[in-house]
Structure 1
Amino acid sequence: MTATPVRPTEQKYEVKDLSLAPLGRQRIEWAGREMPVLRQIQERFAKETPLKGIRLVACCHITTETAHLAIALKSGGADAVLIASNPLSTQDDVAASLVADYGIPVFAQRGEDSETYLRHVQIALDHRPNIIVDDGCDVVATMVQERQAQLAELIGTTEETTTGIVRLRAMFKAGVLTFPAVNVNDADTKHFFDNRYGTGQSTLDGIIRATNILLAGKTIVVAGYGWCGKGTALRARGMGGNVIVTEIDPVRAIEAVMDGFRVVPMSEAAVHGDIFITVTGNKHVIRGEHFESMKDGAIVCNSGHFDIEIDLKALGAQATEVKDVRNFTQEYRLKNGKSVVVLGEGRLINLAAAEGHPSAVMDMSFANQALACEYLVTNKGKLEPGIHSIPVEADKEIARLKLQAMGIAIDSLTPEQIEYANSWTSGT
C-alpha cells in the first residue's frame, strides 16, 4: 500500500498560476464556514488517519468545496492527486492554493481542452490509485479499458453523479465491474439536498450571471424530472417562471403534473420555451428538429454532467454564424433567420458561469464521499464486486451532525414508542 507512486515525469502539478493561491485560500476558508460536518470528519480523520498509506485519485470539479474534501482526505492519511472532471468548472485560484498551501498535487486548468483532460486522466492513473473518487466515471472506465493490470491494486471507487452511476450499472451488467463501487449519489443526504437544492439554486445562478435576464414571466422548459430536475423546476417557478417539464419516465411525469407543472413532449415544448435547461444525464435531449421550432432568441443550457445533452453539432450545422455575445454566451444564427443562444458551451451552466452548488449542501455530499472512502478501506476484501449503498447509519449521522451545526433539535422515541414500533401484536 505504501509503494512510491509511479509517474512518467517529475511533474508534480499543472495549474494555471501559483500566484493565485492567496485568493484561492481566502475563498476556501470562506466556504469552510458553511461546511461544519466535513470539518468534524476532517478533525476525526486527522486523529485516526483511516486512509494512511492509501493512494487516492479524485476526479472532481475543482472548487472551494472540493478543496475541503481533498484536505479531509489528506488529513486522513491519503496520498491524494486531484484532476478536474469538467474543463469549465475548475477555479484556478483554488487549484493554485491546494498546491501551494496544502501540498496537494492538482492537474487542472479552467478551459483545458479534451486532449489535456485525457492526459490528466492518464497522470491520475499513473498514481496507481487504491481508491478512485470519480465524478462521471471517466477515470474508472479508463482504468477498466486501458489499465487492466492495475485493477488488482484498486480497493474500490466512489461515485456521486447520476451519470456516473448509470455508467457503473452498465459496467456491472457487462461483467467488467470487478471491484466494489460506493453509490454516493443515492445517499439521502446527497440527492435530497445536493441534487435538489444545490442544482436548483446554482443552475439559475449560472443562467442569471451569463445573461442578466429576468426570469419572471419566461417560459422555462426543464428536461428531466429527477432530483436535479425537481430542484430546477421548483426554483424556476419560485423566480416567477412558467415551467414546462419534459420526461420519458411515466412515474416522474405524473409526479411533475401533480407538483403543478405542465408536462409535454420536447417537440411541443420547443415551440413555447424561452429558456431550456437539460438535466437528464442522457445525450441529445435537444436536437436539430427542436432548434428549428424554437422562438427567435431562445436560450438553451445544460446542468447535467456531460456536454452531450444539447446536440451542438446539429446546431452548428444549422447555423450560418456563431458569435460570442457575452461571457459564457454564444449566439447561433440559423439558416431560417432565427437565433438560438447557448450558455456555457453546453457544459454545466452552474459551474461554467457561476460557482457551483452552495457550500452548505456540498458539506453533506462531500461528507458522504469522505465516509465512503473510509468504508472502502475498512471493508477491504469484504465487499463483493458491484455497486454498494452508503450505510444507513452513516447517512443518518451526517444528517444528525448537520442539524446539530444548524442548532436544530429533534425528538427521540420514548421506550413505549420503541416497544410499539417493534411489536407485531399491538394494533389499533
Structure 2
Amino acid sequence: MESFERARLDAYFTKIAAHFLPQERVASFLITHLLAERPSFVRAVASLSDVRAVLPKPKSINAAARRDVERSVSVDALSRDLFNDPDAALDYIESRAGGERAVLLDVGGYFAPVLAHLHEQFSGEIAGVIEDTENGHRRYAALEKLPCPVVSVARSPLKDPEDYLVGQSVVFSTEAVMRGRGDILHGRPSLVIGFGKLGSSIARLLQAKGVHVTVFDIDPVRRTQALSQGFSVARDREAALTGAGLVLCATGAVSLRGEDFAHLRNGAYVATVTSSEDELELDLLPEVYTRTAVGDHVTRYRTTGHYFYLANGGNAVNFLHGASVGPFIFLVQAEILAAIRLLTDQHLAPGLHVVPAPDRAAIAATWLSYFNR
C-alpha cells in the first residue's frame, strides 16, 4: 500500500475504534488472513482489547505484514490439530490468558470443536466468539449446544460486496492459472459446487464470460435459485463431474471426496475458494496417482488412462494474486470491531448473535466518508 493509503486506513480504523470503544478491556485471540493491509486491522483490534496472539491462516501470510505485526503482538502458528485437541487448546489459551476474560476472533470455525471444553475448563472466562465466514458460521450452528455467545458477521449485508468481489478474484485467478498453461475458459464447460454467496457469484461471473455453467448443491432451495437464474443444475455430482472441464469448489465443506476424483474428465482443472483441508479429500486419493508440477501453481494428478489438474495445491486459488477485494473488506473488519464491544459489554446469552443494524449503518456511513471519494 502507498503511505497515504495506509494513513487513510489507519485513520478510518481509529474512527471506528473510537465509536465502538468498550467499557472493559478483555484479552483476545485473533485468527486472520495476514495479508498486506492487515496490520492496520490488527492495531484496531489491539486498541479495543489486549491481543494475546495473532494466529495467521497458514496459506495467507504476507511476510512484511507478519514482521509489522510481530513488533507489538505475538504471532503463533495456527493449525486445525491445535484446536481439535481439547487439552492442547486449553493449555494454549491458559498459557496466553489464564484467569482472564477473553474473546476469540475466528475465521473458519477453528475454535468450534473445543469451545465447550474451553468454556467449562478455562480458568478465566470465554466471553464469546466472533466468526467471519459462512463455513465457520455453519460449524458453530452445527454444535448441539453453544456454551457461550457467538457473534457471526458471515451473513451481514456489509459482507455482500466482499463476497461478490471474492468471487471475481477467484474467477480471475483461475483463468490466469489456466492461461499460464495455454488453456482458456471458453469452450470448457464448468461445474460450480456450492451455490451460496461465493458459489453464485462465481457462477454468474463465469456465465458473463460466455462459459456454460452447471451448478451442484445439496440444498434443494439453492438448486431452485440456480435454475431461476438460468444455470443448468446437476441431479447428481458424479454425472456432473464427468462433463466438466473446470470444477470450482465453493461449499466451505468437503466438495470432492477421494472417490470423486476418478469421475473427473481428462484434463479437467480443479480450483477452490478456501483451504484444501476444508474442500478436498486429497489424502484419500488412490496412491496410484502421481503428482507432477506442470506449471506455476498447477499440479497434474495422473494414473493409467486418467489425469486432471489441481490449482494452487487445492488451496484458495485467489490467494495466488493477493485475494484483494479493495477497501470493501474494511466494512466487515469494522463490524468485527463492533462485535468486540457487543461481547465485552452486553454479556449476551449463549447462542448465535448478529451486530445490531444501527451499528452496521454507522460503520457504512463512516466507511463512505473515507473511501467513497
Which of 389, 400, 406 pairs up with 2:365?
A: 400
Which of 81, 95, 114 pairs up with 1:126?
A: 95
Mapped to 1, the partners of 2:330 and 2:129 lie a distance apart of 20
- Residue 251 of structure 1 pairs with residue 221 of structure 2: yes
**Equivalences for residues 7-22 of structure 1 within 5 A:** none
2:167–2:202 Cα contact (<8 Å) kept? yes
Mapped to 2, the partners of 1:236 and 1:30 lie a distance apart of 35
Task: Write the deviation string for residues 270-326 of structure 1: whole angstroms up to 9, x where unpaired.
Answer: 12211111111222x22345422322111112214562422213334351x111123
Aligned equivalent of 2:252: 281
- Residue 350 of structure 1 pairs with residue 318 of structure 2: yes
Change (3 A) 1:62 1:263: same
Which of 153, 156, 159 pairs up with 1:184?
A: 153
- Root-mean-square deviation (CA), in Å? 3.0
- Residue 219 of structure 1 pairs with residue 189 of structure 2: yes
Q: Which runs of 5+ in 2 are unaligned?
A: none
Aligned equivalent of 1:24: none
2:116–2:147 Cα contact (<8 Å) kept? no
Task: Write the deviation string for residues 177-217 of structure 1: whole angstroms up to 9, x where unpaired.
Answer: 22111011111111x2222x132122123324434342233
Mapped to 1, the partners of 2:207 and 2:171 lie a distance apart of 11
Which of 58, 61, 64 pairs up with 1:90?
A: 61
1:156–1:181 Cα contact (<8 Å) kept? yes
1:392 is displaced (CA, Å) by 1.1
Aligned equivalent of 2:165: 198
TM-score w.r.t. structure 2 length? 0.86
Task: Write the deviation string for residues 10-63 of structure 1: whole angstroms up to 9, x where unpaired.
Answer: xxxxxxxxxxxxxxxxx4858748x85x84342352588537632110111111
Mapped to 2, the partners of 1:77 and 1:167 lie a distance apart of 25
* Segment drifting more, 300-309 vs 158-167: 300-309
State the one-letter code of the partner of 2:120: Q
State the one-letter code of the partner of 2:96: H
Change (3 A) 1:141 1:311: closer
**Equivalences for residues 303-322 of structure 1 within 5 A:** 303-304=273-274, 307-319=277-289, 321-322=290-291
Number of residue pairs matched?
363
Mapped to 2, the partners of 1:28 and 1:125 lie a distance apart of 39
Mapped to 1, the partners of 2:150 and 2:280 lie a distance apart of 29
Aligned equivalent of 2:238: 267
1:163–1:305 Cα contact (<8 Å) kept? no
Task: Write the deviation string for residues 250-272 of structure 1: whole angstroms up to 9, x where unpaired.
Answer: 22111111212111132222122
1:163 is displaced (CA, Å) by 1.6
- Residue 144 of structure 1 pairs with residue 116 of structure 2: yes
Mapped to 1, the partners of 2:94 and 2:284 lie a distance apart of 34
State the one-letter code of the partner of 2:135: T
Mapped to 1, the partners of 2:35 and 2:367 lie a distance apart of 21
1:96 is displaced (CA, Å) by 1.2
State the one-letter code of the partner of 1:314: L
**Equivalences for residues 311-390 of structure 1 within 5 A:** 311-319=281-289, 321-335=290-304, 337-351=305-319, 353-379=320-346, 381=347, 383-390=348-355
State the one-letter code of the partner of 2:358: E
- Residue 40 of structure 1 pairs with residue 9 of structure 2: no
Change (3 A) 1:340 1:222: same
* Segment drifting more, 152-161 vs 76-85: 76-85
Task: Write the deviation string for residues 89-121 of structure 1: whole angstroms up to 9, x where unpaired.
Answer: 122221112123xx122225xxx8777898996
**Equivalences for residues 41-80 of structure 1 within 5 A:** 41-45=13-17, 49-50=21-22, 53-80=25-52
Change (3 A) 1:30 1:356: farther
Mapped to 2, the partners of 1:214 and 1:266 lie a distance apart of 24
Change (3 A) 1:390 1:114: closer
Change (3 A) 1:201 1:41: same
2:83–2:111 Cα contact (<8 Å) kept? no
2:20–2:337 Cα contact (<8 Å) kept? no
TM-score w.r.t. structure 1 length? 0.76
2:152–2:354 Cα contact (<8 Å) kept? yes
Mapped to 2, the partners of 1:64 and 1:258 lie a distance apart of 39
1:130–1:155 Cα contact (<8 Å) kept? yes
3-state SS of 1:207 partner? helix
1:132–1:140 Cα contact (<8 Å) kept? no
